[in-house]
Amino acid sequence: MTLIVVKFGGTSMGSPERIRHAAEKVIALHKQGHQVAVVVSAISGETDRLVNLTKAMADDPDPREYAAAITTGEQISTALLAIYLISRGYQARSFNAAQIKILTDANYKSARIQHIETEALTNCFNEKIIPVIAGFQGIDPTGSITALGRGGSDTTAVAIAAALKADECQIFTDVDGVYTCDPRIVPEAKRLARITFDEMLELASLGAKVLQKRSVEFAGKYKVKLRVLSSFAEGNGTLITFEDSSMEQPLVSGIAFNRSEAKLSIRGVPDIPGIAAKIIGPISDAAIDIDMIIQNGSADGTTDLTFTVNREDYLRAFDIVEQIALELKAKEVRGDQKIAKISLVGVGMRSHAGIASKMFDILGKEGIHIQLISTSEIKISVVIDEKYLELAVRALHSGFNLESLETEEFDPIIIPNI
Ligand code: ADP
Ligand code: ASP
Ligand code: MG
């Protein structure tokens, strides 16, 4: 017997009609004799609404209570889906994270899953009951409710699939797979029939929100067979594969972008060993994550250091850097919140040079100035002025011919489309 975990995202739960449609997919699987565990998100827009309510109570809501409030949307979804399944004559049961025991650390807003008890779920399977589980929630060792970070229902689904050793984890969303770029920004973007785990991890880390990064990490760690599919259209979706294929890999498989960073520069500090640590150390001590760093030397014995942080940490980081600038007698501190990071991702880059220069050339021809660059084996990222984001992404997409990327259908889906 096959065990499948299916997850329905916010849009797939967006209205009573959509919830019924999602439930019919579950019924089709169940009727085929598969064991199905369902993970659901809150109705689209609900989590934002709850976040805003907490912010109406306090500018900086208490993290424990914030997590308790913003994860309630998922709980409503589980019951609604279960009500419909029961009304259709199937046995179903809703579960929140405490009822399953999805155990996490105590980092309330962005908790990590540490362990999942499978007993309640296997009991359901033995009794032919379809379990419907709240995504995005966990409980910490004291039983307090935690949130898994925005987009965290993906991670619940993959973690449940890992715990149950499921045959496949299917993420149903509003696009019919992973595309070469966000189709909302590049309408010509192409669906990838398959994508390697390494590429998916980079795309998710670099801003493609189709899967939460941690869900991809989980899939990698436990080798969960993971597929992204549309709730609304038929098709095989995109399969995330682990084996390096014998097929020739495209140089660039996808483009991700991210508008959630900000840039800080400290200028005219003495160019002496240890200076970078003096500046970056206090930022890390304040638990602010730094992404890119660049240090420029100059002729007069001083240097400039530029780095990027999450936009939500920008003001805090700016205050810290101003303090350091005073101590180091730096010339000035500058900041810019209106930046965007664009990244090309592809495992084919491992074996080919010249991608970076082609990227810079395409951006140069559009008159787009590159502010920062970082590279790794399978990605190149640049930071540019946010106002050129769409232009840059589209120019790169067509410059690398991604609209005509060949992707072979791979390992077709095991369930009937509805
Ligand atoms: P859900 O509510 O189902 O979890 P999300 O909004 O979190 O859905 O993720 C789906 C969205 O991800 C799509 O609507 C799309 O705009 C966006 N997206 C960003 N990058 C990509 C990509 N490379 N391929 C597909 N979708 C992408
Ligand atoms: N509802 C949560 C959010 O909007 C979790 C999710 O959708 O994955 O972030
Ligand atoms: Mg999502």
**Which of 156, 182, 228 is the pocket-test mutation for ligand 1 (most atoms within 8 Å of CB)?**
182
CA distance 50 to 71: 8
Verify whether ligand 2 is closer than 6 Å to residue 14 (CB atom). Answer: no
Q: What are the structure tokens assigned to 345, written together? A: 């991702």
Can you list the alpha helix ranges (DSSP code H) found in 13-152?
Answer: 16-31, 46-57, 63-70, 72-87, 97-100, 119-126
Ligand 2 proximity of 151 Cβ (cutoff 6 Å)? yes
106 in Cβ contact with 141 (< 8 Å): yes
The angle subtended at Cα 259 by Cα 253 and Cα 261, nearest 5°, is 110
Atom of ligand 1 at shortest range from CA of 178: 24
Q: Is the minimum distance from the CB of 215 to ligand 1 under 6 angstroms? A: no
The answer to whether 341 and 203 have CB atoms below 8 angstroms apart is no
User: Structure pTM?
Assistant: 0.94
| Residue 117 CA from chain centroid, whole number | 25
> Which pLDDT belongs to residue 319?
96
What span, in angstroms and rounded, lies between the C-alpha atoms of 296 and 285?
24
For the chain, the structural domain boundaries read: 3-243, 252-399
Count of C-beta atoms within a 10 Å radius of residue 31: 10
Q: Which atom of ligand 1 is nearest to the CA of 12?
A: 3
Asked if 5 and 132 touch (Cβ cutoff 8 Å), the reply is: no
Q: Is the CB of 150 under 6 A from ligand 2?
A: yes
Find residue 38's DSSP bridge partners: 6, 132
CA distance 64 to 52: 16
| Residue given tokens 């890390």 in the structure block | 284
List the chain pLDDT tens, one digit each, 418 residues.
Answer: 899 999 999 999 999 999 999 999 999 999 999 999 999 999 999 999 999 999 999 998 999 999 999 999 999 999 999 999 999 999 999 999 999 999 999 999 999 999 999 999 999 999 999 999 999 999 999 999 999 999 999 999 999 999 999 999 999 999 999 999 999 999 999 999 999 999 999 999 999 999 999 999 999 999 999 999 999 998 999 999 987 665 667 789 999 999 999 999 999 999 888 888 999 999 999 989 999 999 887 778 899 999 999 999 999 999 999 999 999 999 999 999 999 999 999 998 888 888 999 999 999 999 999 999 999 999 999 999 999 999 999 999 999 999 998 877 766 666 555 5
Return d(Cα 68, Cα 66) in angstroms, integer. Answer: 5
Supply the angle between the helices 46-57 and 63-70 in degrees, to the nearest 10. Answer: 150
pLDDT at 348: 87
DSSP 87-120: HTT--EEEE-HHHHTEEE-S-TTBPPEEEE--HH
Pocket-testing residue among 43, 210, 343, ligand 1, by greatest number of atoms within 8 A of Cβ = 210
Task: Domain 3-243: give its CATH code.
Answer: 3.40.1160.10
Q: Which residues contact 141 (CB under 8 A, 6 or more apart)?
A: 103, 106
pLDDT of res. 231: 93
- The 10s digit of each residue's pLDDT in 351-402 is 888 899 999 999 999 999 999 999 999 999 999 999 999 999 999 999 999 9
Ligand 2 near 20 CB (within 6 A): no
Q: What is the DSSP letter of 346?
A: -
pLDDT at 1: 84
Helix boundaries (H) for 135-196: 153-164
d(CA 22, CA 81): 8
Choose the CATH number for 252-399 among 3.40.50.880, 3.30.2130.10, 3.30.2130.30, 2.40.30.60. Answer: 3.30.2130.10
Q: Which helix (H) or strand (E) holds 261?
A: strand 261-270
Ligand nearest to the CA of 110: 2
Any ligand 2 atom below 6 A from CB of 196: no
| Burial class of residue 342 in the structure, from the number of CB atoms within 10 Å of its CB (0-12 exposed, 13-18 middle, 19+ buried) | buried
